[in-house]
Structure 1
Amino acid sequence: MIQERAPIGIFDSGYGGLTVFKEISALLPQYDYIYLGDNARVPYGTRSFETVYHYTLECVNQLFGMGCRLVILACNTASAKALRSIQQNDLPRLDELRRVLGVIRPTAEVVGEYTQTRKVGILATPGTVSSESYVLEIAKFFPDVEVFQEACPMWVPLVENNEAESPGADYFIRKNLDSLLGKCQDIDTIVLACTHYPLLINKIQKYLPSHIRIISQGGLVADSLKDYLFRHPEIETFCSEGGTTRFLTTESCLNFEEKAAVFLGHAIRSEHVEM
């Protein structure tokens, strides 16, 4: 049976994945994309492994049902808590020719190239931190790099509620950065291990020493996807090339479009889906 080409699916629990989509679509504008934000059930970062896995699999199946053969989990919490189970347990049962990729491995593969002191900080949601995913993945590629984590439970709500420029944002950002650097003064590289955090970059830089390098994931994930498609023509051949994007959300389209414009820098139109 001839398989039709289909868009690449990009999933996030909220809006943060738009920072990844923005970089992917800029680097690979020829492909079609479907972005799905499970905004009605955000945040994922404080939910249990089982709940995150259940929600993520629902959304992946939604994208599969729309024809996508490749889905990117542009969400650190979903990548940490659900990706492995989906890859190992669900894909063999659903369709061995489909692929689901995450954002943690592309970051872990290169982080050692940025640090001189071999001391790296991770800023992430409580769920990502508790999963130890970054500690484990970075150790596979750079066993000499020591990883220090800091959970930032208030950062996603600050972004989602348009409070990124508020005095409250300064308080929580400074508090978490001081806590992270208190664990190791030799940290010279910090990974923003949540796709919402780039919207807080100005305040993060404000409270960090100038010599510390900050790594955002969007560009790294985009480069990794380009390389993946080059190395896997059997997947790339099923990715349609029309340069189009559909935006789907589980919340009201009006709310999604208003906030998405902040992340993307331009207006969009979206469609509502029930999960």
Structure 2
Amino acid sequence: MSTAPIGIFDSGYGGLTVMKEIVKNLPEYDYLYLGDNARAPYGGRSFDTIYQYTRQCVEYLFDQNCHLIILACNTASAKALRNIQQKDLPNIAPDRRVLGVIRPTAEVIGRYSKTGHVGVLGTSGTVNSNSYVMEIRQQFPELTVYQEACPMWVPLVENQEYDSDGADYFIQQHIDGILSQSPKIDTLLLACTHYPLLLDKIKTYVGDDITILSQGEIVAKSLDDYLQRHPEIAEKCTTGRSKKFLTTDSTDDFDDHAKFFWGKEIASEFIDL
């Protein structure tokens, strides 16, 4: 193959918000995005099923000559990444790397909080996994972490209702829910790749003294740092500035939704896993 793109995987469209920031920060590389829309959402599925789906998509991206893959999906990062890194890569691709979105955020969140109290807003699957709590405490044991599951936020975004008046009820409900857990919370993490599209409305229910963090920019900076520290991986990623988008479901549906996450029109290709 003439290209060796950086692979970016998500169960659906949300990972495009992460890819958008990565491309903005590292425009020179080739990129290949895979959305497993036919089997989305992953959040309500079992640990084993999420692992099997994620591994299958990772192996597909390996077959497309990706030497580095970003799991731009909180559920996959929480429930599949560790097994893939520790059990699979040593056997199937010891010279390749798969990274997630949870650790990069956990590594920096403590720098933003002055009170030592931070809140995590995520899907029910991500919150129930406690992955952010564990990772943040490992990096910043002095922090107190609060969580709030926001089950309606992803449907609001995917149904393109994120800017509607009806969205305000659900957004305010969960902002009030997380902030009621502690008056000391001064940092909120949007632990879902869909949530940046709700940012303007979220800000209307959050005081100016609270910092809101989105994953995309953090993950992009972390990837830049990773490639500088691992030139042996960077050298395997080609720099042709190409971007290709794949979906396991309808391309028309993917393209229609994706333009809101990506910010402009795209043309995806269908693959059958």
TM-score class, shorter-chain normalisation, is: over 0.9
Q: Provide the C-alpha distance between the structure 2 equivalents of 1:265 and 1:135, rounded to a whole number of angstroms.
A: 31
The equivalent of 1:180 in structure 2 is 178
The equivalent of 2:247 in structure 1 is 249
**Alignment check: 8 A CA contact 1:9 1:71 kept:** yes
Q: Structure 1 residues 40 and 168 mapped into 2: Cα distance closer, same or farther (>3 Å)?
A: farther
Q: Alignment partner for residue 141 of structure 1, among 139, 142, 154?
A: 139
Following TM superposition, by how much is the alpha carbon of 1:158 offset from its aligned partner in structure 2, in angstroms? 1.1
The equivalent of 1:9 in structure 2 is 7
The equivalent of 2:237 in structure 1 is 239
The equivalent of 1:37 in structure 2 is 35
Instruction: Give the aligned CA root-mean-square deviation in angstroms.
Output: 1.2
The equivalent of 1:110 in structure 2 is 108
Deviations, residues 132-160 of structure 1 (Å, cap 9, x unaligned)? 11111111111111000011111111111
Q: Alignment partner for residue 69 of structure 2, among 68, 71, 83?
A: 71
Q: Provide the C-alpha distance between the structure 2 equivalents of 1:246 and 1:150, rounded to a whole number of angstroms.
A: 34
Following TM superposition, by how much is the alpha carbon of 1:5 offset from its aligned partner in structure 2, in angstroms? 5.6
The answer to which of 174-183 and 184-193 deviates more is 174-183
Report how many residues are paired. 273
Letter in 1 for 2:4: A
Q: Provide the C-alpha distance between the structure 1 equivalents of 2:98 and 2:41, rounded to a whole number of angstroms.
A: 21
Give me the TM-score of the superposition, normalised by structure 2. Answer: 0.97
Letter in 1 for 2:248: T
The equivalent of 2:212 in structure 1 is 214
Indicate yes or no: 2:150 matched with 1:164: no
Q: Provide the C-alpha distance between the structure 2 equivalents of 1:4 and 1:90, rounded to a whole number of angstroms.
A: 26
Q: Provide the C-alpha distance between the structure 1 equivalents of 2:109 and 2:219, rounded to a whole number of angstroms.
A: 12
Q: How does 1:22-61 map to 2 (within 5 A)?
A: 22-61=20-59
**Alignment check: 8 A CA contact 1:38 1:249 kept:** yes
The equivalent of 2:118 in structure 1 is 120
Give me the TM-score of the superposition, normalised by structure 1. Answer: 0.96
SS of the residue aligned with 1:163? coil
Letter in 1 for 2:11: S
Deviations, residues 229-271 of structure 1 (Å, cap 9, x unaligned)? 1111111110011000110011111111111111122111110
Unaligned runs of 5+ in 2: none
Runs of 4+ in 1 over 4 A off after TM superposition: none
The equivalent of 1:19 in structure 2 is 17
SS of the residue aligned with 1:35? strand
Q: Provide the C-alpha distance between the structure 1 equivalents of 2:166 and 2:58, rounded to a whole number of angstroms.
A: 35
Following TM superposition, by how much is the alpha carbon of 1:4 offset from its aligned partner in structure 2, in angstroms? 7.2
Q: Provide the C-alpha distance between the structure 1 equivalents of 2:33 and 2:15, rounded to a whole number of angstroms.
A: 9
Deviations, residues 42-83 of structure 1 (Å, cap 9, x unaligned)? 211222211211111111111111111110001111100110
Q: Provide the C-alpha distance between the structure 2 equivalents of 1:242 and 1:5, rounded to a whole number of angstroms.
A: 8
Q: Provide the C-alpha distance between the structure 2 equivalents of 1:209 and 1:10, rounded to a whole number of angstroms.
A: 34
**Alignment check: 8 A CA contact 2:3 2:30 kept:** no
Q: Provide the C-alpha distance between the structure 1 equivalents of 2:191 and 2:3, rounded to a whole number of angstroms.
A: 32
Q: Provide the C-alpha distance between the structure 1 equivalents of 2:175 and 2:47, rounded to a whole number of angstroms.
A: 26
Letter in 2 for 1:172: F
**Alignment check: 8 A CA contact 2:105 2:219 kept:** yes
Q: Provide the C-alpha distance between the structure 1 equivalents of 2:228 and 2:169, rounded to a whole number of angstroms.
A: 44
Q: Provide the C-alpha distance between the structure 2 equivalents of 1:38 and 1:157, rounded to a whole number of angstroms.
A: 17
**Alignment check: 8 A CA contact 1:46 1:125 kept:** no
**Alignment check: 8 A CA contact 1:73 1:79 kept:** yes
**Alignment check: 8 A CA contact 1:45 1:153 kept:** no
Following TM superposition, by how much is the alpha carbon of 1:201 offset from its aligned partner in structure 2, in angstroms? 0.5
SS of the residue aligned with 2:166? helix
